[in-house]
Chain A
């Protein structure tokens, strides 16, 4: 999860400065006049952090990890933004512990990425006097800060964190995530208890197994048995409790999940042992019993791999700001979003989200709805017009009047749809649960017939044989095979930057037959953010000229460069002409400006090389000024992925954008792939629901919030993310966008993993059949059970783990 950054190096003689990396964050320096001595910075924010660190003698930060530099505190206007945190209600929900003067709170810091981050975040007390201590949990990307309320308010603390480049992510939804930790610990307690008992019971059982014909001293024999009973009690009443609970809740819903036969096995092992020990002085199967529970719990831990830093269950609330600026009686104040009412007048600034449906009162609104609809073009609104929630304002400050509650707004209505409100139906979705019904029936049938047979042969053996069959048929190996196979598969996925929510997702992935792609941001990249101007500098006026000229053109590249420029578009363009395939030209303020291909702008060959990007050259009055590097629209490897998937999967494209790219997509996907354009979020969701009603198993690959409904409605929703630490909508898996090219291999690998699970089922059933043949014959001694049980478990675990790793190796993952 660590992202490498370019290494800082001081400028060499004669080297142009714009290829330099920022001393603090390692980003390229676009403007080259921000410097201290020979250290250059990409922005004033980075310089401020550097100064702050230098002042406190914390510069060893820069020697910690040469490859991973600090985080750049981009647009550092924070003081106003966090004022709402001093609202008592919000403060109470964020703070974990508060006492007279001491406060403790845990913040999620998405920007945390390397060991230097840990170092700096744990030295916050050197930066501000009011901070007592801070402690990082790196896998969770959290920092727990203890501070003095008298010296530092919560809002000031958050502002401080943001100003050193670690802006915390604060959402009221994240509060709920804290509860999960306790359940994890419970599992560790249970394993500890079971492992302790298992080891000791084994030890006290050895004399029995190893004794010669003369036997051991009867006093010790009895003593050991009673110790074993004592040791087994906590395993039965504490460690194995959750198997009983799960089996019971399954039975109540008339479902035979895998925990039912497991519970029967556990109950039989324990009951039969108690009976043997107390009634006719036999050894019992307590070592097998404790071992069984211990192995099962280990399987559970292995399966419970979670990606702490990621969240798969976000809804729109995580995207919304927590606060909003409100104007009341000509006076501006910041209030928590939850207190926003109809008729409130709100103020939305550049890059801020409009939280509720509203009417524009003042200002010029340019709304970016890409977040909601996937449509990349800005929508202009005039005062008096209605604006839907979820749009982002680009440009100047606007003032709006709220006309609908947040819960009733256009965007949030999507979340009121059945797909989100309905509790997901937990049927027998797992492979192992689906076969456990038949398994249980078969075992009960065998046990009963064996009992009937012995009733006729030798009635004294009936109970012995019946319980022996149920004991040995306990599907321990069966229950362990899928956690280990699918758990290994999940880890293999994780190593390839594909993070899935749980192991069941692997099984669901393997059963997919239809793949639905979103277009914008999924098949294409969100390029406007990474467009750079290179080999030169444009003044503000020139930028404005370029942008005004670009506005005339409808070419895709023009639109992208237009969107990336942050300048006014007020200038008048004369003599405009456009030559398809070459470029555009016009006269602005009397200066002839041309934008387009290299020949078009009259530039000599040469200049910086940029791979995987298209160059858009600019020249003014015939003088070359440099070029915009526009990354290619389609993701690298898209064609290969599509070709590899064509044989096994049906593909569909759903786009919120207009159909102007259909021809390009057709050449990639072929003529028979269904493509639907201008789809609203709700239409996307309904389309997928319709596919599923027709019996298709659907995978949705999307990115933005506009796909949230579709991701949720699909059997498997995978969100493609440029930066996996930013927030993606609720989904089953997050795929790092840089790994899109291996998407086909990931899908094929999920199928191999499920094949491994099936093979291991055969193996473990073989063990069960072997064991049952002992049991039916009345020959199941505690020793046979004590050997067979761990042997089957360990071989199954080794078999599945090795085979899934081998399959991954074969796929090149």
Chain B
């Protein structure tokens, strides 16, 4: 029966991972706007992608935080 302790430990660990994911989702603002993403996903992707420009900004931001 000692294996129960290990199993309970695992189950708690899994639960903790989900709690962590939830807290992360709140922290990154996924609960701030519950309407726009549902509309946005219906748009077609024909438009210009500005990936390279976005990367540049990400670099700027990470430089800034250093």
CA distance A196 to B31 in the complex (A): 18
CA distance A189 to B19 in the complex (A): 10
State the Cβ distance, B48 to closest chain A Cβ, in Å: 5
Q: Which chain B residue shows the least CB distance to A185?
A: B26
Q: Which chain B residue shows the least CB distance to A98?
A: B64
State the Cβ distance, A307 to closest chain B Cβ, in Å: 13
User: Scoring B residues 27 to 53 as 1 if CB is less than 8 Å from chain A, else 0, what string do you get?
Assistant: 100011111100110111011101001
Q: For the complex, is A122 an interface residue (Cβ under 8 Å from B)? A: yes
State the Cβ distance, A366 to closest chain B Cβ, in Å: 43
Please name all residues of chain A whose beta carbon is closer than 8 Å to the beta carbon of B19 when the two chains form the complex: 192-193, 196
Contacting chain B: which of A136-144, A310-318, A578-586, A671-679? A136-144
Cβ of B4 and Cβ of A220 under 8 Å apart? yes
Give the dominant DSSP class at B's interface. helix
Contacting chain B: which of A125-133, A552-560, A721-729? A125-133
Q: For the complex, is B10 an interface residue (Cβ under 8 Å from A)? A: no
Please name all residues of chain B whose beta carbon is closer than 8 Å to the beta carbon of A209 when the two chains form the complex: none
CA distance A559 to B34 in the complex (A): 48
Q: Choose among B23, B26, B36 the residue that contacts A137 (Cβ–Cβ < 8 A).
A: B36
Please name all residues of chain A whose beta carbon is closer than 8 Å to the beta carbon of B40 when the two chains form the complex: 118, 122, 136
Contacting chain B: which of A99-107, A244-252, A415-423, A710-718? A99-107
CA distance A220 to B4 in the complex (A): 9
Cβ of A138 and Cβ of B47 under 8 Å apart? no
Please name all residues of chain B whose beta carbon is closer than 8 Å to the beta carbon of A189 when the two chains form the complex: 23, 26
Cβ of B32 and Cβ of A181 under 8 Å apart? yes
Cβ of A188 and Cβ of B39 under 8 Å apart? no
Given contacts A185-B27, A192-B23, contact A200 B33 (CB under 8 A): no
Please name all residues of chain B whose beta carbon is closer than 8 Å to the beta carbon of A123 when the two chains form the complex: 47-48
Cβ of B12 and Cβ of A200 under 8 Å apart? yes
State the Cβ distance, B30 to closest chain A Cβ, in Å: 10
List A535-591 residues whose CB lies under 8 Å from chain B.
none
User: Scoring B residues 9 to 28 as 1 if CB is less than 8 Å from chain A, else 0, what string do you get?
Assistant: 00010011011001100110
State the Cβ distance, B44 to closest chain A Cβ, in Å: 7
State the Cβ distance, A208 to closest chain B Cβ, in Å: 15
Cβ of A138 and Cβ of B35 under 8 Å apart? yes
Cβ of A132 and Cβ of B33 under 8 Å apart? no
CA distance A200 to B8 in the complex (A): 11
Please name all residues of chain B whose beta carbon is closer than 8 Å to the beta carbon of A184 when the two chains form the complex: 32
Q: Choose among A139, A192, A199 the residue that contacts B22 (Cβ–Cβ < 8 A).
A: A192
Q: Which chain B residue shows the least CB distance to A136?
A: B36
Cβ of A133 and Cβ of B50 under 8 Å apart? yes
Cβ of A125 and Cβ of B39 under 8 Å apart? no
Q: For the complex, is A146 an interface residue (Cβ under 8 Å from B)? A: yes
List A110-130 residues whose CB lies under 8 Å from chain B.
115, 118-119, 122-123, 125-126
Q: Which chain B residue shows the least CB distance to A122?
A: B40
Please name all residues of chain B whose beta carbon is closer than 8 Å to the beta carbon of A223 when the two chains form the complex: 5, 8
Q: For the complex, is A60 an interface residue (Cβ under 8 Å from B)? A: yes
Cβ of B64 and Cβ of A99 under 8 Å apart? yes
Q: Choose among B5, B23, B32, B39 the residue that contacts A118 (Cβ–Cβ < 8 A).
A: B39
Please name all residues of chain A whose beta carbon is closer than 8 Å to the beta carbon of B64 when the two chains form the complex: 99-100
State the Cβ distance, A807 to closest chain B Cβ, in Å: 27
CA distance A126 to B53 in the complex (A): 12
Q: For the complex, is A213 an interface residue (Cβ under 8 Å from B)? A: no
CA distance A132 to B32 in the complex (A): 22
Q: For the complex, is B6 an interface residue (Cβ under 8 Å from A)? A: no
Cβ of B23 and Cβ of A125 under 8 Å apart? no
Q: For the complex, is A461 an interface residue (Cβ under 8 Å from B)? A: no
A-B residue pairs in contact (CB < 8 Å), sample of 6? A139-B34, A185-B27, A192-B19, A192-B22, A196-B16, A227-B8
Having A125-B48, A139-B33, one finds 7 other A-B pairs with CB under 8 Å, namely: A60-B46, A97-B61, A99-B63, A115-B42, A136-B40, A188-B31, A196-B16
A residues sitting closer than 8 Å to B (CB atoms) are 58, 60, 64, 97, 99-102, 115, 118-119, 122-123, 125-126, 132-133, 136-140, 146, 181, 184-185, 188-189, 192-193, 196, 199-200, 217, 220, 223, 227
